[in-house]
Chain A
Amino acid sequence: MEPATHGLRESATFDRATIHAIQRAAETGIYDIRGWGAKRKLPHFDDLLLLGASMSRYPLEGYRERCDTDVVLGARHAKNPLHLATPVTIAGMSFGALSAQAKEALGRGASEAGTSTTTGDGGMTPEERGHSKHLVYQYLPSRYGMNPDDLRAADAIEVVLGQGAKPGGGGMLLGQKVTERVAGMRTLPVGVDQRSACRHPDWTGPDDLAIKILELREITDWEKPIYVKVGATRTYYDVKLAVHAGADVVVVDGMQGGTAATQDVFIEHVGIPTLAALPQAVQALQELGVHREVQLVVSGGIRSGADMAKALALGADAVAIGTAALIALGDNHPKYDAEYRQLGSAAGYFDDYQDGRDPAGISTQDEELAARLDPVDAGRRLANFLRVMTMEAQTLARACGKAHLLHLEPEDLVALTIESAAMARVPLAGTNWIPGAGL
C-alpha cells in the first residue's frame, strides 16, 4: 500500500527522517555522527539567475572569443603566489578521512586541470605532495603531523579557524579509521576515537593570529601565501579580522560545506548558507579597500560552473569544492548501490564517511576497499569535472559579455526569491527591489 494514495498524511514537522532520528537516538543513546554537509534545503545559488546580454549588453561569441579563467592567489605579501588555470580549487580533506588513493586522485585531477588541492587534519602525505602541482598545507588546531619541512614544501599555508560544516567544532576521526599509518602521522594511539581541539593551542584571538601569521611567514621566509579559513557565521567581522591579521587569502566555507565526521545536529544547525556569507565577505573586503588584493575563496555546496559563475559574480575570486570532487571520484555511484544498501544506505544517500566502510574506496582506510579506487582513473574523472565546471562558467560569462570569469559582477545577477535577493543583495527578478538594501 502506498500510504499517500490511501489518504494518509505525513507530518511536515515529524516527517519520516525525523521519526527515524528520534527512534535511532532512543535505541542507541548517542547522537548521530555522519559525513557530508547540511542536507536541509537552503537558499543557494540555484535561487539566482544570470542576465545574459541582449540589446543593452554585448555578448561574446561562445566558441570563438576568449574568456580567460586564470587567477592569482596570495600576491598581497607572499613572494610566490599561486597562479591557477581556473578559479575552482579542491578544499581541504585529510588523509585519514580519505584513503591514500583518494588523496592521490585529488592531486592528480587538480594538477591536470591546473588548480590546487589541499591537505587536511593529519598532515601531508608523500602521495599528495608528489601528485599535486599546487598544494595548500592546512595549519589546524590539532597540528597533527605539522612539520616545518612540509610547511616549506607546500605552495601555500591555510590557517584553519573553522569549517562550514561545524564552525566552532574540532576535527573528528573515529577509531575504525585510525589505522597504524594514520595514527603514526598524528602521534595518536591506534584505534582511538580522535576528537581534535577546536581552538588553536598557542593563540587565542585576532591580535595573536597576526603574530602567528608573522611567525609562519618568518619560518618560510615570506615565500608562501597565507590563507585564513573560517566557517561562515559572523562572516563580515571574521573577514575583516582575518585581513587585519595579515591574510593573503580568505576562505569562507558556508554551512553546506562537507565533513568526514561531525554530529548531525552540528552540521544542520550551526552556521549560515554560503549565499548569505559571500556578500558579507565581499563587503568587508571592499570596506577595507582590499577586494581583489586579498583574494576570497568561497566553498560550501559548489556543484557546477553555474554555481562558480554566480559566486564569482558576487565577488569571490575562486571557489573550492569538496563533496562535488568526491562525487567526481566515484562517491555515491549507482554501481555500489547494493553495497550501500547493505550498510543501511543507498547510492545518492550515502553519508557515512565516518564509518570507514565506503564501498567506493574513498572515505576509508580499509586496504581492500581503498584498492578499489584507481587514482589514475579517478583523477581523470576529477579533471574532466573541473574542466566541465570551467567551460560551463565560461559559457555563462561569455553570454554576459565577459572576457574573463572574474569580470562577472553582481549587476549580472537577479534573484528568484525574496530570501535569496536579501542574502545575495541582488534584485528580485523583474524588479529593482533588494530587500534590506539601504537599511
Chain B
Amino acid sequence: MAATLIDLAETPVRELNRALHAPGGADVWRVLNPRGAHAVACGVREDLAVDIEGHVGYYCAGMNQRATVTVHGNAGTGVAENMMSGTVRVRGNASQSAGATAHGGLLVIDGDASARCGISMKGVDIVVGGNVGHMSAFMGQAGRLVVCGDAGEALGDSLYEARIYVLGTVKSLGADCVEKEMRAEHLSELGELLKAAERDEDPSEFRRYGSARALYHFKVDNSAAY
C-alpha cells in the first residue's frame, strides 16, 4: 500500500497530527524531515502505520493507541510516553524517560536508551537492544523491561510489580530491587518479548530483577498511628 507522504520541512507538526487524528484517513504514513520536531505522531488512536524518516524531539508517539510508529533515527525525551497500546520502534537511540508511565503496547529501541527508561511504567513492554541509563524502571508498576546491553546505576529503584531482564551488567540496583530466580515462565515470556522485538539473544543468558516488596508499607511499631 502506498504511504501518504508528509514532509515536515513544508508542513507543520500540527497539520501532521491533525491528519493522523482525523477519522477515516489513510492507513499508512511516511513522515520526512522531522529534524528533531517535538510531539510528532502523538495521540494517535487508530491502527495506522507511521514511518518517520529521521530524528525526532520530545514525546514522539506520546500516548499512542493501536498505531505502529517507527522512527528511523534517534528519539528525544519521552518517546512513547504513556503509550496505551500499539508498537513504537526506534531504530537509533532514545533519550531519557523512554516509555515513561506507559500502560501497554510494545516499545522497541534498537540502540541505547538514556536515563529513566521505563520510569513509572504501568504495563508496557520495553525491549532495548543496547544499554539503559541510570534509574531505569524507577517506580515501575507493571510490564516488562528487557535490556540486551548493560544497565546503569539504581536499576529498578522503588520498584512495584514490573519485571526487568538484563543480559549484560548492572552497575547497581536501586532501593528494594533484587535479583530473582529465572523460572520457566520467565524464560518463556522473555523469549516472546525478544521475538516480538525481532531480536535473537538467548533468553537463558539474561538475569531477572524484581521488587523485594520491602517498601510497600511503612514499617512502624504502631501502624494505628497513621
Q: How far is the CB of B214 from chain A (nearest CB, A)?
A: 12
1/0 contact string of A207-226 vs chain B (CB within 8 Å): 01001101100111110000
> Which residues of chain A from 184 to 204 have any CB-CB distance to chain B below 8 Å in the complex?
186-189, 192-193, 197, 201-203
Q: Could you pull out 8 A-B pairs where Cβ atoms are within 8 angstroms? A: A30-B225, A30-B226, A174-B226, A192-B160, A193-B216, A201-B120, A203-B77, A221-B17
Are B43 and A219 in touch, CB under 8 angstroms? yes
Given contacts A211-B39, A218-B17, A218-B43, contact A143 B218 (CB under 8 A): no
Residues of B within 8 A of A334 (CB): none
Please indicate the chain A residues that have their CB under 8 angstroms from the CB of B100 in the complex.
Answer: 143, 201-202
CA distance A212 to B78 in the complex (A): 10
B144 at the interface (CB under 8 A from A): no
Task: Give the residues in chain B near A212, CB-CB below 8 Å.
Answer: 58-59
Q: Are A29 and B101 closer than 8 Å at their CB atoms?
A: no
Whether B101 and A148, one on each chain, are in contact in the complex, defined by CB atoms closer than 8 angstroms, is no
In the complex, what distance in Å separates the CA atom of A175 from the CA atom of B226?
Answer: 10
Bound CA span A27–B96, Å? 44
Cβ of B68 within 8 Å of any chain A Cβ, yes or no, is no
Shortest A50–chain B CB gap in Å is 43
User: Quick check: A201 and B97 within 8 Å, CB to CB?
Assistant: yes
Q: A30: which of B77, B84, B96, B220 is its contact (CB, 8 Å)? A: B220
* Residue in contact with B225 in the complex, picked from A32, A192, A201, A219, CB distance below 8 Å: A32
CB distance from B90 to the nearest CB of A (A): 15
What B residues does A175 contact at CB under 8 A? 217
Number of interface residues of A (CB under 8 A): 38
Say whether, besides A192-B216, A193-B216, A201-B116, A148 and B45 are in contact (CB < 8 Å): yes
Q: What's the minimum C-beta distance from B67 to chain A, rounded to whole angstroms? A: 12
Q: Which of B85-127 contact A (CB under 8 A)?
A: 96-97, 100-101, 103, 116, 119-120, 122-123
B120 touches A142 (CB 8 A): yes
Q: Which B residue sits closest to A210, measured CB to CB?
A: B38
The residue from A193, A201, A208, A214 contacting B39, defined by CB atoms under 8 A apart: A214
B13 in the interface (beta carbon within 8 A): yes
With an 8 A cutoff between CB atoms, is A24 at the interface?
yes
Q: In the bound complex, how far is the Cα of B13 from the Cα of A220, in angstroms? A: 14
Instruction: Tell me, yes or no, whether A33 is within 8 Å of chain B by CB.
Output: yes
Q: Report which of B77, B160, B225 forms a contact with A188, defined as CB distance below 8 A.
A: B160
Chain A residues, Cβ within 8 Å of B39: 211, 214-215, 218-219
Closest chain A residue to B141, Cβ basis: A187
B78 and A30 contacting across the interface, CB-CB below 8 Å: no
A201 to B137, CA, bound (A): 11
Q: Are A208 and B217 in contact (CB under 8 A)?
A: no
What secondary structure prevails in chain B residues at the interface with A? loop
B50-71 vs A, CB cutoff 8 Å, 1 = contact: the mask equals 0000000111001101000000
**With A151-B63, A211-B38 as given contacts, are A189 and B13 in contact (CB-CB < 8 Å)?**
no
The residues in A between 314 and 365 inclusive whose CB is less than 8 angstroms from any CB of B are: 354-355
Are A219 and B63 CB-contacts (below 8 A) given A143-B120, A147-B103, A202-B78?
A: yes
- Across the interface, A192 reaches (CB within 8 A) one of B96, B116, B217, B226, namely B217
B84 touches A148 (CB 8 A): yes
Cβ contact within 8 Å between B101 and A201: yes
A146 nearest CB neighbor, chain B only: B82
With A and B bound together, what is the CA distance between A27 and B220 in angstroms? 10
Residues of chain A lying within 8 A (CB to CB) of residue B220: 28-30
Q: Report the minimum CB–CB distance from A275 to chain B (whole Å).
A: 32
Q: Mark A7-40, 1 if CB is under 8 A from B, else 0.
A: 0000000000000000010011110110000000
Decide: A355 and B18 in contact? CB cutoff 8 A. Answer: no
Q: Select the residue from A27, A143, A218 with max chain B CB neighbours within 10 A.
A: A218
Pick the 8 closest A-B CB pairs, nearest first: A219-B43, A202-B78, A28-B225, A202-B97, A143-B101, A148-B63, A215-B59, A202-B100
Q: Knowing that A28-B222, A189-B160 are A-B contacts, what are 8 other residue pairs whose CB atoms are under 8 Å apart, sorted by A's residue number?
A: A30-B220, A30-B222, A148-B43, A187-B122, A187-B141, A197-B120, A202-B77, A218-B17
Is there contact, CB below 8 Å, between A24 and B65? no
* B173 in contact (CB, < 8 A): no
A174 to B225 CA separation, bound complex (whole angstroms) = 12
CB contact under 8 A between A218 and B42, given known A187-B141, A187-B142? yes
Which of A188, A192, A219 contacts B42 (CB under 8 A)?
A: A219
In Å, the complex CA distance between A197 and B57 comes to 25
In the complex, are the beta carbons of A211 and B57 less than 8 A apart? yes
Chain B residues whose C-beta falls within 8 Å of the C-beta of A221 in the assembled complex: 17-18, 21, 43
Q: Chain B contacts of A192 at CB under 8 A?
A: 160, 216-217
Question: Which residues of chain A have C-beta atoms less than 8 A from B160's C-beta?
Answer: 188-189, 192
What residues of A have a CB within 8 angstroms of the CB of B119 in the complex?
Answer: 201-202
Q: Which residues of A contact B222 (CB under 8 A)?
A: 27-30
Cβ A148 vs Cβ B161 within 8 A? no
CB-CB under 8 A from A186, the residues of chain B are 141
Residues of chain A within 8 A (CB-CB) of B195 are: none
Q: How far is the CA of A264 from the CA of B63 in the complex (A)?
A: 36
Shortest beta-carbon distance from B55 to chain A in Å:
15
**A110-147 vs B: 1/0 string, CB under 8 Å?**
00000000000000000000000000000000110011
Residues of A within 8 A of B180 (CB): none
Bound CA span A97–B101, Å: 21
Q: A143-B120, A148-B45, A202-B59 are in contact. Are A214 and B101 (CB under 8 A)?
A: no
Q: Which B residues lie within 8 Å of A354 (CB)?
A: 226
Evaluate whether A187 and B103 lie within 8 angstroms (CB atoms) in the complex, with A202-B81, A221-B18 already known.
yes
Does chain A have a CB within 8 A of B14? yes
> Are A215 and B42 neighbours in the complex by a CB distance under 8 Å?
yes
A100 to chain B, nearest CB (A): 22
Residue on A nearest B63 in the bound complex, by CB: A148
CB under 8 Å from chain A, chain B span 195-226: 216-218, 220-222, 225-226
Whether a CB of chain A sits under 8 angstroms from the CB of B139 is yes
Cβ A189 vs Cβ B42 within 8 A: no
**Interface hits, B161-176 → A, CB 8 Å:** 161
> Which A residues are CB-close (under 8 A) to B57?
211
